Amino acid sequence: MGFETKVLSIVADILENDRSAEFAYGSMFVDCTASQAAKIETALSEILSCGIIVSPGSNEFAFDFV
């Protein structure tokens, strides 16, 4: 399973919606609340061996993996 597929699967499980997230230009953009973004960040940090930067946008949150 590829990195993006694995990450999107986790996000879909948390949000119970598989169409709320997408990758563009190396970042993942998720249509969610701040509370959901925190849950996503926590879940991803537990399984990934990289840092995660979460930035709020107008209607979504951007996740960058470093």
Residue 21 belongs to domain spanning:
3-65
Confidence at residue 13, expressed as pLDDT on a 0 to 100 scale: 94
Q: Is 1 exposed, middle or buried (0-12, 13-18, 19+ CB in 10 A)?
A: exposed
Q: What is the pLDDT along the chain (66 residues), one digit of tens a residue?
A: 689 999 999 999 999 988 899 999 999 999 999 999 999 999 999 999 899 999 999 889 999 999
Cβ–Cβ < 8 Å for 15, 21: yes
Contacts of 36 (CB under 8 A, 6+ apart): 14, 15, 30
CA-CA distance, 47 to 24, in Å (whole number)? 22
Domain count, the chain: 1
Q: Assign residue 55 the CATH number of its domain.
A: 3.90.1070
Which pLDDT score, from 0 to 100, does residue 18 have?
Answer: 81
Q: Which residue has the tokens 């999107």?
A: 8
Q: In this predicted structure, what is the pLDDT of residue 1?
A: 64
Bridge partners for 20 per DSSP: none
Q: Model pTM?
A: 0.90
